[in-house]
Structure 1
Amino acid sequence: MASPRGIRLTDQQRVAWLRLIRSENVGPATFRDLLNHFGSAAASIEALPDLAVRSGRRISIAGQAEAEREIAALARLGGRLVAIGEPDYPPWLREIDAPPPLISIRGGSGDLLRQPMIAIVGARSASVAGRKMAQILARGLGEAGFAIASGLARGIDAAAHEAALDGGTVAVFAGGLDRLYPPENAALAEAILERGGAHLSEMPLGWEPRARDFPRRNRLVSGMSVGALVIEAAERSGSLITARLAGEQGRIVFAVPGSPLDPRAAGTNRLIKEGAHLVTTASDVLEVVGPMIGHAFVAPPNWSEPEGEGAQSPGSVVPDDRDRALLIEALGPTPVQVDELIRFTGLRAATVQVLLIELDLAGRIERHPGQRVALIG
């Protein structure tokens, strides 16, 4: 495995990055656009009030003391805040659409977070056979050099984590790292840390997971992995959401077949019909992903800041009302690529970028995979 490389934020930059991503209506895609346009998180924070005014609404900007308290509380928990491009940031996660610029990590000794991973997910109300299958596959993949990523849920997730304790496993939280869910897996969560595994989240400490946070977590589970393996999943289950996200992220989807009489196998059987790789042994997965071990990663561009006190703004573009009206007219409920908007409107790329930031801060656009955006309302 190649030696870890990447950026290292200064303490001052880390606080600014945290303030920016914790500010109202600033998601990962908007964070990236702000950083690209203004050159640094600090410069972006200075620009936010004017951008918000032009968007037609006021937004709450996270304060310096608030960010410093979160970093200190995370350290007391034994965790750390890792920025995209830093050595401990999972390399495959960097490559998804709108990756989280900052993640909170607890544990993760050695090269675990840079190790190739397989996501194993499935039914919470899993059968004994399903749990046993998850353990057999997780153990076999671990022995072959793959870490296991999952969501620490009941059933298949818990079985996979438990079997992967020796080979390495990462539990992704839907809430803050101090908000374990479900509580019944507390002993397993502690065992993961004791055996060199890791807990990971993009949410702030104290954040109680809501229903809509679990799909957001699932995109991290699949995003940090080279492939997603589904074992027992009913139709319309969270595991199928993970499989769909994995496909959108360009990850390989695997599924274990089950009895047509078991509703817990309906989702996995459908995945196989739609092209997922059928799996009955770990070797079925290894034949596909084995060559990916040792894959070299290059840190993506446009996610770093200059050394020193912070970047200087390259000069903010201030669109006029005509530019704004032209872009809004070009947008609609159907997602379109940003490059298409630039070509269609004839506006400068920087102008479109700033206008999309304004619309994002106003809650008027929705981001979609493939650098696509759609107008809301």
Structure 2
Amino acid sequence: MKDHALLQLAFGALSPRRIDSLVVRHGSIQSAVAAVTGRATNVPAIACDAIGVPFDVREAELADLGVAFLSSDDPRFPSLLGTVDGGPRWLFVDGDLPQGPSIGIVGSRSCTAYGLELAEAYGLVAARLGWNVVSGLARGIDAAAHRGALHAGKPDEGSGRCVGVLGCGIDVVYPRENRLLFHKVIDGGGAILSEFPPGTRPDAWRFPTRNRIIAGLSDVVLVVEASARGGALITARIALDYGVPVYAVPGDVDRRTSVGTNALIRDGAFPIFGPDDLATVLDLLRPVIDRNAVGV
């Protein structure tokens, strides 16, 4: 079955580009798995061995972890992510994927105290307005945005939830300092998800890959602080390619962590001047997003 082959292939922890290449070359997911396990490809031996583990063994491993495997055909797969080009073929999910509008709040790991304060305030105000907060659970801006959202109140009282998108296995806490935050995201009714199978190390090349998932899950993206290069700008560029509105927080022209956000604003991103300003923007956008969600 296709879903069985998908799960096996997912455990190879290959890059999306390599997976696409295998499927195109061999004509289907099932044929790609057969070629890999038959050592008829140039896939590394360790990945071949992982892909060769039977479906029922992998299914039992995920059950033990309490992790769901969602293919892009699964009705539980995020609807926004299912409509973008180059999106993931599957997700490993711990927790409950929330409904409703979502804002991606991203920024630099090496941020300022001012940036941390703003990110937490933005996460708080967005969640209080019923927006889910999507980010990468990285140190710095990402973690601060999640902390703010978690302070907004209980989801059953109308507050938004958190969605953390990892660049490693769903059972790998990275950075380790965010272990408690990981648990709070789940306990707060949110979800942690990854395109990569459990046990996958946080290799550097996996993080730009996960940024397209953050962009694809978001109705709006806000960049709080960013240097001239980095993951936050990658997320912003992908969001623009997806047609997702991008907002950025302006900063001092001589501050390294404002170079990226100021450049985004120069190139057409909308500036956000504080939590009240973000609240106004989200209130204005909410009716449009709600109408789009129901196809009106």
Range of TM-score over shorter length: 0.7 to 0.9
Q: Distance in 2 between matches of 1:262 and 1:71?
A: 49
Which residue identity does 2:202 align to in structure 1?
P
Q: Which deviates more, 135-144 or 176-185?
A: 135-144
* Residue among 29, 39, 42 paired with 2:20: 29
Q: Distance in 2 between matches of 1:237 and 1:45?
A: 34
| Structure 1 residues 284-330: Cα deviation after superposition (integer angstroms, max 9, x where no partner) | 344345411253379xxxxxxxxxxxxxxxxxxxxxxxxxxxxxxxx
Judged with a 3 Å threshold, the aligned counterparts in structure 2 of structure 1 residues 138 and 34 are, in CA distance, closer, same or farther, namely farther
* Residue among 253, 265, 268 paired with 1:272: 265
Is the CA contact 2:169–2:200 (under 8 Å) kept in the aligned structure 1?
yes
The equivalent residue for 1:260 is: 253
Query: Equivalent residue of 2:234, what SS?
Result: helix
TM-score by length of 2: 0.83
Q: Distance in 1 between matches of 2:287 and 2:257?
A: 29
The equivalent residue for 1:367 is: none
Give 1:143 shift.
Answer: 2.6
- Choose between structure 1 and 2 for higher RCO, CA contacts under 8 A separated by at least 6 residues: 1
The equivalent residue for 1:107 is: 95
Asked whether 1:168 is paired with 2:180, we answer no
Query: Equivalent residue of 2:292, what SS?
Result: coil
The equivalent residue for 2:224 is: 231
The equivalent residue for 2:139 is: 154
* Residue among 293, 296, 316 paired with 2:293: 296
Asked whether 1:17 is paired with 2:6, we answer yes
The equivalent residue for 2:61 is: 73
Asked whether 1:141 is paired with 2:126, we answer yes
Judged with a 3 Å threshold, the aligned counterparts in structure 2 of structure 1 residues 34 and 58 are, in CA distance, closer, same or farther, namely closer
The equivalent residue for 1:287 is: 284
Q: Which deviates more, 282-291 or 85-94?
A: 282-291
Give 1:162 shift.
Answer: 1.1
Q: Distance in 2 between matches of 1:25 and 1:123?
A: 24
Query: Equivalent residue of 1:164, what SS?
Result: helix
Q: Distance in 1 between matches of 2:162 and 2:285?
A: 20
Which residue identity does 1:192 align to in structure 2?
V
Q: Distance in 1 between matches of 2:272 and 2:113?
A: 18
Instruction: Show structure 1 runs of 5+ residues with no match.
Output: 1-11, 299-377
* Residue among 67, 83, 89 paired with 1:95: 83
Q: Kindly report which structure 2 residues correspond to 1:320-335, keeping only aligned pairs within 5 A, or say none.
A: none
Q: Distance in 1 between matches of 2:25 and 2:82?
A: 17
Give 1:107 shift.
Answer: 0.5
- What is the total number of aligned residue pairs between the two structures? 277
Q: Which deviates more, 82-91 or 223-232?
A: 82-91
Query: Equivalent residue of 2:248, what SS?
Result: strand
Q: Distance in 2 between matches of 1:172 and 1:63?
A: 23
The equivalent residue for 2:241 is: 248
TM-score by length of 1: 0.66
Is the CA contact 2:123–2:133 (under 8 Å) kept in the aligned structure 1?
yes
The share of aligned pairs that are identical, in percent, is 34
Query: Equivalent residue of 1:100, what SS?
Result: coil
Judged with a 3 Å threshold, the aligned counterparts in structure 2 of structure 1 residues 235 and 285 are, in CA distance, closer, same or farther, namely farther
Query: Equivalent residue of 1:133, what SS?
Result: helix
Is the CA contact 1:254–1:285 (under 8 Å) kept in the aligned structure 2?
no
Is the CA contact 2:37–2:52 (under 8 Å) kept in the aligned structure 1?
no
Q: Distance in 1 between matches of 2:265 and 2:216?
A: 20
Give 1:33 shift.
Answer: 4.8
Is the CA contact 2:87–2:212 (under 8 Å) kept in the aligned structure 1?
no
Query: Equivalent residue of 1:295, what SS?
Result: helix
The equivalent residue for 2:156 is: none
Give 1:136 shift.
Answer: 2.2
Q: Distance in 2 between matches of 1:292 and 1:139?
A: 20
Q: Which has the higher helix share?
A: 2
* Residue among 172, 176, 190 paired with 1:183: 176
Across the aligned residues of Structure 1 and Structure 2, the Cα RMSD in angstroms comes to: 2.7
Instruction: Show structure 2 runs of 5+ residues with no match.
Output: 154-159
Give 1:252 shift.
Answer: 1.3
